[in-house]
Amino acid sequence: MGMSYRRAWLLVNEINHIFREPLVETQMGGAGGGGAQVTEFGHDVIRRYRAIQQAAAEAADAHVRALVACLSEKPHISDKNA
């Protein structure tokens, strides 16, 4: 994902504090090693987020298609220099 392990854990810690319940549970290391897993509440948050993404994509679809139809078919200045 292009980020350090520490940065990832700081972000997990932050989202766990933003919401009323943790989204990710962590287990301390040991003989079997540690780990993390998304909680049921976390899965619910993910489902809701994906529903928002889908609704936004559907709502924007006609507008995006209209903008694409407005694009020029002429070559771009950067295309001439390539």
pLDDT in tens, 15-62: 999 999 999 998 877 677 778 999 999 999 999 999 999 999 999 999
**pLDDT at residue number 81:** 59
**pLDDT at residue number 21:** 97
Look at phi and psi of residue 33 and say left if phi exceeds 0, alpha if psi is from -120 to 50, else beta: left
pLDDT tens digit sequence for 58-81: 999 999 999 999 998 887 777 665
Indicate the pTM of the whole model.
0.71
CA–CA distances in Å: residue 77 to residues 13, 32, 39, 69: 46, 58, 50, 20
- Assigned CATH for 5-74: 1.10.10.10
The domain locations on the chain are: 5-74
